[in-house]
Structure 1
């Protein structure tokens, strides 16, 4: 069910509006009815037990998503197989009956699909999932896709040589995950999964097993668990569902279940009467936190009554999390952040969760606020006004999904049907979900919502997890002290909650409208350009890609490059400070409440060279969107208490920043690139002292006091006449002084020369490598594109060399960027992590690939792959609002014709091999290069 299980995370709902679709007039169900299967889906099962799900869906157009789901993961391993479920997932890309070695990845790239984005897989405790995305304009591609699925199901070759090569890749995948987070997880897992196999069956497995298991052990697991009665095939996309169903029947009916196969049984997570305490410290932790889990059996979710209960839970935690968020914004906040909710921690177990991130060592205060707020909600319940706001949010989110029911991405459906197969999640369809939600929200009362909090009174089956920095002078509580702290927190008696709501219009006075001075229309791109009477330019493109989405971006030249160096920190913090302060008459909390039920978002920004706004709105909420935009443009607000709260939280987050290896590494790299430039200093408590909130407000007002050089770009489900009204009322009325300005050059180009950065810091036997190239280069759209070709050619080569041939890293990424402002420059490079002993070898291997490309050129088949990937990406992008917003914005800012957006295919196809080599030599020049390594620290 698209929305059912996602809501178990209980993130605080954003402002969404209430609209009555009238679907609940004639109920087609009763509370005790089992939820039906959406009629848009074909669900079937073959005689051998394999289950399949097929749905026609045209988002994205011309694409099909295929999944093979094996209902077996690391929990099905025996002691000598730990890690082989995941290892088999890797081997599926290293040789099958029809596809030798890396031919699957080769096929996908030739089809224009990227490895990692369009062909991938994952292994969890309970399942292994293989994923393909393919174009549908060539039937042979889909046929090959089915051959790949069939081979994964029953045709892995498990070549001993390929197994040996892949051992290193998996070891490096394991190594790449190592760090403070993984160390804490390893220590806390035995408490969360007390006496359960979940505790010692981490999907990555045992590196001893991974490094030594013989081929026979792989075959054992594959033959036992890769069988049709544990498999699901999912196909969603721009296809004929009846043809696909027949193809599934023809392809997979011949698969047979092995005799005497082991039974697939649930994995128990045993109960325990006592509360288990885990108190952990780590030298690389920068903050202290606490989490309490109250474990419970997974609740039923098969009937309308179960769905109703889920809505009640969502309402409860939505209100509780809003209250906790309010506490974090107090002038002297009790914590950095806190939240509560419910989530599934295993297939067989879920947990109520309370968590808090502490301010320094203020443990008692943080727990008092978290537990006290939770207990206050249990004691007094919530208010009717709180409930009405969160009901509006819940309903609006369902209505948005309903509006987009024919524009939902196929990948979302594929994920949903994966859950339907693995955990029997109901899939009744958005129409029925909205129908039920409308009916339930109308009669859910405050008393039954308040009753959800009774679950926090449970004393058995609890786990308390505390973690904090290992730092001289910082004392963490012992178990007995933590017990006493929790007990004291439970005795806190908070006063009755007051729901403060500022009941005034969002914008009290509607501005006097201006005019549209000039209108232009580009028939080729179906775009409108309006010049308003105050000089503002508005670019609009109407699309039908999404029914309930309008995206906006705007820009004006200048940015924080125009402020002095001693104003820089206040400038870059200005939008954050004012965002915490609210706008107009509303503080940030009041604004959130005022916008409940409105699907709007407006965010101001001030970057190096530009300032502007970005945002999104439902067409239904467009008036509220423009009012909010006008408020942020003309009535910024500085709330000093809000700034005090923000400052307190920021200081707590950076006080131990020097304990983070990645922070230390980034600071050293910044120092090597930019020396002592005042705008490239590492973040510290001392720098925080330079921030002046009043100066931040002054910078903001200065940057947004003149809109005569602003350009606004709107893309989405636009009504032209409506947009004219809003543009004249809320954009043409913005202040304009006619100043002429551009961002300025600050002299902070990366320093020239060849340099090394070698940092020894960190506990793990892991080296992080970055190799960076910088220099001057002429900017042009053509040069920017040819640079992306070089980047992707190197991505293929380095993956083949550093990962597949050397087995020395889990992944290597090549990046490239060509900038136009304030000066024309390039920055490129590659990065990976590896065994410290192999770092120099792999750096040399990466450099060798660059030199080889520069000197000997490229394989034509690799260039054809890159071209196809670019064309397929463009083909999909043409049907996405975000693509048009980005491209129209950049074309306008760069002074290019919009028609160039449509010329991209010609740019891809018309290439000069020598230009590619010239670009490789220019943009990966060894004249200016930094080789940086973050090594482990050995005492």
Structure 2
């Protein structure tokens, strides 16, 4: 008996140990997130994250979208999302937006929502340092979940707003998608349930049909609440239970179906063209035969790592083709991932191409896929991909305690909706370090045989339709597929690169002077060659350093003729590479490094922008040195760049929005001898590469006239060392330059310009004030405040009252450089029939502020918004880099940045009223885009 008991115990222990071992093979859930489920089925995720301070990101996630709509509900999932902002039991129409604006939350920019095929997600960022605000935030989420009022009147009023959003989606992309989607989503319910829905349903659906979608699908078993931010986890959990435990489960709920993407034996080809299509594209889909499986185990995660490495390697090859002397496309990439259907993945290849290059681009994509299938990737490609993969993870790992809540919250949304793994950054990094070296190249090379197959394949070509352009035929595509299958394709080859970026170290200079600004916390170094280095050490990110450099002059010092002959060529100069290394060579050499440097020549400055990690900072300095002293001259590389730009721009002016902006720009710059406008193929043909290269050398000949800015996790001694070695050693002179103020200064003078383009019933209105003025920092700030207040009033009037727009905005500022000027604009899209009335309504809001100033309530709203924004900005490297640079350029006292709260508090209604009266006069330009008139049709906007 004892022996039997002992054997049983051994068996019990063995089984349990085995089960535990098996269980341990699952990907863990990060201990930093607290997950739970209420008795009614609602799931919640809570995570404490201190960046930004005193802020909480809330999400209400509904596992229901347009795929669940009945035939008479197409568009109502999205419509219901709108209705949740238009009245609930605790917030009458407009009260919700009004309240959130009062605590600094902007409608659209912060407060938002989206509806897709399978989900609806509500986005609510709120301050977390006030209990009342916190309670109200959770009350809003609860109201969205089950307390929307959806009165008949509110539904009818919102139809116009939703129709305006529907109108925005009209155009060539939608028309072409309607042609190819039935093949991409063959025999799938997804092909018939686009989230925007049908016009007639939006306009005519009866009230109960709208409410029924809400009743059927907004229920706790399909909901999650996600809270990430500067919070007390236990306190937030109590609030979730308090607000959501009372949601009643639905008796006999409708089945939440999962719709599939059926297989098909043939290869489908869809060729869609449109007269307004600005770009040509090629897509290839190899849809999986089986449904996708969740990434649950460690083995699943290794499979995912392998696919990531595969994508890195194939895209490195496609990037090399893009940068070749005769590129087959402007841009291309491939990846394995999701389709419209949640449960079906596909291997997908994409290219942006010239209008006459579609077959060539398709051939290049197919050839590279076939090359990998036949020959695989090389060992060196594999090593570079692993270095890139680890470098990205290492950066995330080092910044794991400095991630913004807004970047973290979506992973929990995805976990609820799609069971995506959430093990946390530490686990991902450590797991990759432990397992990356065990991944074999052969395993990754074998993936392509799973990806590529002749059934379940769809090829889509989209592009312009115009006279003289012969569209690709389906038989040509099928013939190309057969050609690739039977052709000889050579293995990928590459030359060995040198080990170091610089072949010879420069003769170092020195730091000759150091000045500290203790209030703002930055240091200014004067170097032996006259250059200055400004740096601010921060702890906002552990693994980030942002960089810029500026010298005055830019193209303002070019003659008119030289400027016109080089303006477009300047951006192509760096495509030649540096130090006898091509762009492709540089890309390979930078594998495993996170660093970028971009030389720039603008209208009034020349300089650089870029970034690096602390580990790669020396590489950044070396690249800057080489861009000064050793930019390659390569006409073939420049020609390849120009050809890509010409292919990309070939049909741009067929698009009504691009055409409108171009025509408006030409009108405003009439008489400007230096006006370039939108680039065209003809303009690129007229560029002078030799002259552009010569001018570049002139602009970067004197490093002593430059100031270099660094902000981030800086090792001060290394910055001084690198600055001495790589910047102080640059050629310089005592000469300093200033930009030249342009003779032509555009201004508005009561003009009206109506531009006709496009066939869809879509219009755009731009109201623009601008001209010369004496710059005053206080007026600049007040002008920005005026833009914020007018935006609030325009949304209230044009969207909520008139239901005539989906979005509308106003903005303004004063500029000191290149000369004192002001600019203010109001813009909105709308229906052609509403242009006149909505323009009058917008101008009426301007007049109200000119007569009475803003209300005290609206002033307090924008003050709170400014303070909330600045609190976040003070914790951002980008903000401080911009402040340091602009203070020097504008000769502004940098310490004023610390007095912002005083500045906001001092802002008055009277100041805003005065600025409105000073600048928003009758001398505005009214630019209107209207559809092209049909024969015999009268103009609706007037001339």
Q: Structure 2 length normalisation: TM-score?
A: 0.95
Among 496, 502, 505, the alignment partner of 1:507 is: 502
Moved more, 554-563 or 352-361: 352-361
Does the C-alpha gap of structure 1 residues 364 and 162 become closer, same or farther in structure 2, counting only changes over 3 Å?
A: closer
1:309 equivalent in alignment to 2:340: no
* Residue 115 (structure 1) aligns with: 107
CA shift, 1:752, in A, is: 4.2
* Residue 770 (structure 1) aligns with: 766
- Equivalent residues of 1:793, 1:866 under 8 A apart: yes
| 1:501-650 superposed matches below 5 A | 501-650=496-645
Does the C-alpha gap of structure 1 residues 575 and 626 become closer, same or farther in structure 2, counting only changes over 3 Å?
A: farther
Instruction: After superposition, give the CA deviation of every residue in 1:744-768 in whole Å (9 maximum; x if it has no partner).
Output: 1222321442212111111211111
- Equivalent residues of 2:277, 2:654 under 8 A apart: yes
* Residue 11 (structure 1) aligns with: none
CA shift, 1:32, in A, is: 7.9
Distance 2:786 2:119 in 1: 38
Instruction: After superposition, give the CA deviation of every residue in 1:818-838 in whole Å (9 maximum; x if it has no partner).
Output: 221221111211111111000
Among 163, 167, 174, the alignment partner of 2:166 is: 174
* Residue 251 (structure 2) aligns with: 259
Among 877, 881, 889, the alignment partner of 1:885 is: 881
Query: Counterpart of 1:675 in 2: which secondary structure?
Result: coil
CA shift, 1:202, in A, is: 0.8
Among 220, 232, 244, the alignment partner of 1:228 is: 220
Distance 1:654 1:219 in 2: 46
Distance 1:445 1:84 in 2: 49
Query: Counterpart of 2:752 in 1: which secondary structure?
Result: strand
Distance 2:668 2:133 in 1: 47
* Residue 100 (structure 1) aligns with: 92
Does the C-alpha gap of structure 1 residues 861 and 373 become closer, same or farther in structure 2, counting only changes over 3 Å?
A: same
Distance 1:628 1:575 in 2: 18
What is the number of equivalent residue pairs in this alignment? 912
Distance 1:32 1:184 in 2: 49
* Residue 408 (structure 1) aligns with: 403
1:331 equivalent in alignment to 2:337: no
- Equivalent residues of 1:293, 1:351 under 8 A apart: yes
* Residue 743 (structure 1) aligns with: 739
Query: Counterpart of 1:773 in 2: which secondary structure?
Result: strand
| 1:469-480 superposed matches below 5 A | 469-480=464-475
- Equivalent residues of 1:48, 1:255 under 8 A apart: yes
CA shift, 1:911, in A, is: 2.1
Does the C-alpha gap of structure 1 residues 125 and 909 become closer, same or farther in structure 2, counting only changes over 3 Å?
A: same
Distance 2:112 2:663 in 1: 35
* Residue 689 (structure 2) aligns with: 693
| 1:718-737 superposed matches below 5 A | 718-737=714-733
CA shift, 1:456, in A, is: 4.0
Which structure ranks higher in relative contact order (CA pairs < 8 Å, sequence separation ≥ 6)? 1
Among 61, 66, 72, the alignment partner of 1:69 is: 61
Instruction: After superposition, give the CA deviation of every residue in 1:529-567 in whole Å (9 maximum; x if it has no partner).
Output: 111122212221111110000111121110111111222
Query: Counterpart of 1:754 in 2: which secondary structure?
Result: coil
- Equivalent residues of 2:295, 2:301 under 8 A apart: yes
- Equivalent residues of 2:354, 2:650 under 8 A apart: no
Moved more, 195-204 or 677-686: 677-686
- Equivalent residues of 2:595, 2:613 under 8 A apart: yes
Alpha carbon RMSD of aligned pairs, Å?
1.6
- Equivalent residues of 2:74, 2:201 under 8 A apart: yes
Instruction: After superposition, give the CA deviation of every residue in 1:232-269 in whole Å (9 maximum; x if it has no partner).
Output: 00000000111111211122111111212101121121
Distance 2:396 2:668 in 1: 47
Query: Counterpart of 1:519 in 2: which secondary structure?
Result: strand
Distance 2:895 2:742 in 1: 34
Distance 1:846 1:363 in 2: 45
- Equivalent residues of 2:282, 2:361 under 8 A apart: no
- Equivalent residues of 2:856, 2:909 under 8 A apart: no
1:455 equivalent in alignment to 2:450: yes
CA shift, 1:790, in A, is: 0.6
1:344 equivalent in alignment to 2:354: no
- Equivalent residues of 2:279, 2:652 under 8 A apart: no
After TM superposition, the runs of 4+ consecutive aligned structure 1 residues lying more than 6 A away are: 28-32
CA shift, 1:310, in A, is: 1.1
Query: Counterpart of 2:547 in 1: which secondary structure?
Result: strand
CA shift, 1:933, in A, is: 2.5
* Residue 439 (structure 2) aligns with: 444
Distance 2:119 2:357 in 1: 41
Distance 1:490 1:788 in 2: 60
1:389 equivalent in alignment to 2:384: yes
Q: Structure 1 length normalisation: TM-score?
A: 0.95
Moved more, 472-481 or 373-382: 472-481
- Equivalent residues of 1:371, 1:489 under 8 A apart: yes
* Residue 19 (structure 1) aligns with: none
1:800 equivalent in alignment to 2:792: no
- Equivalent residues of 1:295, 1:461 under 8 A apart: yes
1:819 equivalent in alignment to 2:811: no
Distance 1:32 1:873 in 2: 44
CA shift, 1:914, in A, is: 2.2
| 1:669-684 superposed matches below 5 A | 669-682=664-677, 683-684=679-680
Distance 2:898 2:934 in 1: 56
User: Which structure 1 residue ranges, 5 or more long, are not aligned?
Assistant: 1-27
Moved more, 887-896 or 652-661: 652-661
- Equivalent residues of 1:560, 1:571 under 8 A apart: no
Moved more, 595-604 or 475-484: 475-484
CA shift, 1:574, in A, is: 4.5
Distance 2:536 2:676 in 1: 41
Does the C-alpha gap of structure 1 residues 231 and 360 become closer, same or farther in structure 2, counting only changes over 3 Å?
A: closer
Among 201, 208, 211, the alignment partner of 1:216 is: 208
Does the C-alpha gap of structure 1 residues 780 and 501 become closer, same or farther in structure 2, counting only changes over 3 Å?
A: farther
Moved more, 907-916 or 606-615: 907-916
Distance 1:905 1:353 in 2: 51
* Residue 481 (structure 1) aligns with: 476
Distance 1:299 1:32 in 2: 19
User: Which structure 2 residue ranges, 5 or more long, are not aligned?
Assistant: 1-19, 936-943
* Residue 16 (structure 1) aligns with: none
Instruction: After superposition, give the CA deviation of every residue in 1:196-247 in whole Å (9 maximum; x if it has no partner).
Output: 1111111111121111122211221111111111100000000011111121
- Equivalent residues of 1:283, 1:471 under 8 A apart: yes
Distance 1:134 1:357 in 2: 40
1:660 equivalent in alignment to 2:652: no
Distance 1:188 1:676 in 2: 45
Moved more, 433-442 or 402-411: 433-442
Query: Counterpart of 1:354 in 2: which secondary structure?
Result: strand
CA shift, 1:569, in A, is: 4.1
Distance 1:638 1:466 in 2: 36
